[in-house]
């Protein structure tokens, strides 16, 4: 019983601590009295928590408040001299960055993924890149509050293990355990699309939405579901794998081994394959000039360039991809009824060529008039969405009680 009481006291204390920290973060600078008012905690509780946070150097006191006649109130701010390291492990690239506590990437770099790599090799590279960024920034380890890793494939976020990265053929990589051992600080690991969704919630287009879905359409398709402001992981971490929801019983085979998966119709790879098929059938198109006879050169960016130049085949192919993405989004709307759907990843760069046909599908297929009007927008975080998400994993641990 005693340990239960101690446990619930501890729980309340850490909830209150996150609440106070987040209130200071959101307001920029704020007095103790205002913190108490906004959090509805008692002034002595706020004073205690603030003393602890000051002792840990996480917040600072400033004497710059507006005076109402008497002495100037002391304002509290987050100590800006703290950092987070983010790593986004994609299929072809690893992005890594040092961020401040507001999600601004102070240093951001990219490295190509080696063509062949094993589990140990990947861990070595990640450790080496983190060391490099610490050196570059001349940041002391004790100023870094944590490391966030956004990893493609299936990730068990609780243990921080990358369970399966199909494109690289890697399994069971103990990322969290190894990085915590190397750097002696908290490490969070999450799937890249889920990380991106959290990044959108904190720093992107989703700030005002409690329930949102961000869909990453690149070589494959992944999604992050945010329900009540948190990542929805599902029972075994595979919630959000919409790329492998099946939309055609007898469809083409997917990289996962199944048939007719959504991503075999709507991904960047599907766009490329569909276009190549048309070109090889002899369709007249600007793409043949652009590719200089080497059709392997035809990829998403070239199709987009030709669409911008008015090439009918390129426009048709992008629009078709937009309609397929629309089908996946109608399914997602019917499953989760989010207030916002954000589309990111390489394919989203085709902008209105895909967005308009996509919205037409949602208009014609969604169940209710409100669902037809679901807000669907393109991501504003660009290629660094998952990287900002990786940083946000650590920030959300610090500022929000889980």
Binding positions for Zn ion, rule: CB under 5 A:
244, 254, 256, 258, 261
Sign for the CA dihedral angle at 332, 381, 205, 306 comes to negative
C-beta closer to Zn ion: residue 76 or 254 = 254
C-beta closer to Zn ion: residue 244 or 320 = 244
Q: Phi and psi (nearest 5°) for 68?
A: -105, 50
Q: Phi and psi (nearest 5°) for 235?
A: -70, -40
C-beta closer to Zn ion: residue 74 or 247 = 247
CB of 255 to Zn ion, least distance (A): 6
228: tokens are: 């009540």
Q: Phi and psi (nearest 5°) for 121?
A: -60, -40
CA 6 – CA 179 distance, rounded (Å):
31
Element (H, E) at 78: strand 75-78
Q: Phi and psi (nearest 5°) for 375?
A: -75, 120
Angle at 241 between CA 268 and CA 108, to 5 degrees: 65
C-beta closer to Zn ion: residue 267 or 285 = 267
Helix intervals (H) in 184-232: 192-203
CB of 174 to Zn ion, least distance (A): 26
CB of 224 to Zn ion, least distance (A): 18
241: tokens are: 């794998």
Q: Give every CB contact of residue 321 below 8 A, 6+ residues apart in sequence.
A: 266, 270, 271, 274, 347, 350, 354
CB of 274 to Zn ion, least distance (A): 17
Q: Give every CB contact of residue 71 below 8 A, 6+ residues apart in sequence.
A: none
C-beta closer to Zn ion: residue 178 or 244 = 244
By three-state DSSP, how is residue 29 classified?
strand
Helix intervals (H) in 204-351: 263-266, 268-280, 286-291, 300-308, 312-336
CA 303 – CA 377 distance, rounded (Å):
21
CB of 311 to Zn ion, least distance (A): 30
| Residue 108, number of CB atoms within 10 A of its CB | 17
CB of 272 to Zn ion, least distance (A): 17
By three-state DSSP, how is residue 299 classified?
coil
CB of 251 to Zn ion, least distance (A): 10
C-beta closer to Zn ion: residue 110 or 256 = 256
C-beta closer to Zn ion: residue 58 or 256 = 256
CB of 261 to Zn ion, least distance (A): 3
Terminal Cα distance for the chain, rounded: 23
CB of 247 to Zn ion, least distance (A): 11
CB of 330 to Zn ion, least distance (A): 19
C-beta closer to Zn ion: residue 202 or 265 = 265
C-beta closer to Zn ion: residue 194 or 244 = 244
69: tokens are: 């006649």
Given a contact cutoff of 8 angstroms between Cβ atoms, the answer to whether 351 and 376 are in contact is no
**CA torsion 46→48→54→57, rounded to 10°?**
-100
C-beta closer to Zn ion: residue 264 or 374 = 264
């Amino acid at each position: 019983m005693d340990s239960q009481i101690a446990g619930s006291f501890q729980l309340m204390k850490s909830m209150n601590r996150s609440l106070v920290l987040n209130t200071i973060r959101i307001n920029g600078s704020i007095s103790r009295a205002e913190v108490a008012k906004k959090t509805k905690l008692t002034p002595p509780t706020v004073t205690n928590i603030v003393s602890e946070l000051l002792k840990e150097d996480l917040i600072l006191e400033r004497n710059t408040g507006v005076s109402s006649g008497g002495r100037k109130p002391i304002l509290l701010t987050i100590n800006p001299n703290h950092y987070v390291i983010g790593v986004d492990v994609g299929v072809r690239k690893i992005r890594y960055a040092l961020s401040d506590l507001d999600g601004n990437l102070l240093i951001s770099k990219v490295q190509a993924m080696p063509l062949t790599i094993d589990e140990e090799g990947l861990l070595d590279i990640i450790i080496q890149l983190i060391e490099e960024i610490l050196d570059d920034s001349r940041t002391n380890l004790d100023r870094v509050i944590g490391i966030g890793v956004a990893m493609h494939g299936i990730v068990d976020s609780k243990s921080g293990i990358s369970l399966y990265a199909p494109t690289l053929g890697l399994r069971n990589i103990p990322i969290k355990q190894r990085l915590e051992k190397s750097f002696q600080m908290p490490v969070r690991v999450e799937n890249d699309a889920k990380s991106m969704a959290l990044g959108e919630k904190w720093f992107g287009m989703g700030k005002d939405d409690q329930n949102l879905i961000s869909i990453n359409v690149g070589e494959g398709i992944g999604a992050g579901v945010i329900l009540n402001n948190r990542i929805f992981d599902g029972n075994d971490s595979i919630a959000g794998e919409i790329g492998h929801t099946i939309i055609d019983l007898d469809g083409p085979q997917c990289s996962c081994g199944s048939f007719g998966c959504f991503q075999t119709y709507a991904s960047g790879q599907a766009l490329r394959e569909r276009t190549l098929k048309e070109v090889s059938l002899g369709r007249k198109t600007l793409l043949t000039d652009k590719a200089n006879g080497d059709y392997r050169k035809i990829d998403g960016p070239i199709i987009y360039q030709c669409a911008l130049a008015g090439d009918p085949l390129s426009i048709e192919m992008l629009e078709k991809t937009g309609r397929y993405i629309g089908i996946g989004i109608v399914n997602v709307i019917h499953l989760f009824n989010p207030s916002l759907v954000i589309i990111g990843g390489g394919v989203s760069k085709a902008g209105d060529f895909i967005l308009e046909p996509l919205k037409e599908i949602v208009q014609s297929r969604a169940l209710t008039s409100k669902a037809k009007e679901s807000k669907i927008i393109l991501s504003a975080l660009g290629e660094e969405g998952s990287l900002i998400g990786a940083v946000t994993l650590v920030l959300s641990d610090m500022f929000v009680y889980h």
